[in-house]
Amino acid sequence: MTSNGTQRKFLRRCELPSITGLSLGYFKRAAWLGEGPPFVKLGRAVLYDEAALFQWLEAQKKGGATHDGHG
């Protein structure tokens, strides 16, 4: 539970490909290399905080066209 009383949602690694479009192997390798979104390991379970996953995805944005049609 967070400080404002809401419950945090955790995702299993096997759920990430359907959310992100990236392969399961990507997340396994990224974790092994110390890259990728932050995760928690509890025994054999590897869990990703949903909010942290989306923050990580936002941080991966690179360049591209702007929304005002310039660039």
Give me the amino acid identity at 62. Answer: K
Q: How many CB atoms lie within 10 A of CB 37?
A: 20
51 and 8 Cβ atoms separated by less than 8 Å: yes
The predicted structure's pLDDT at residue 70: 59
What digits encode the pLDDT tens for the residues 31-68? 999 999 999 999 999 999 999 999 999 999 888 766 66
pLDDT at 71 over 60: no
The predicted structure's pLDDT at residue 25: 97
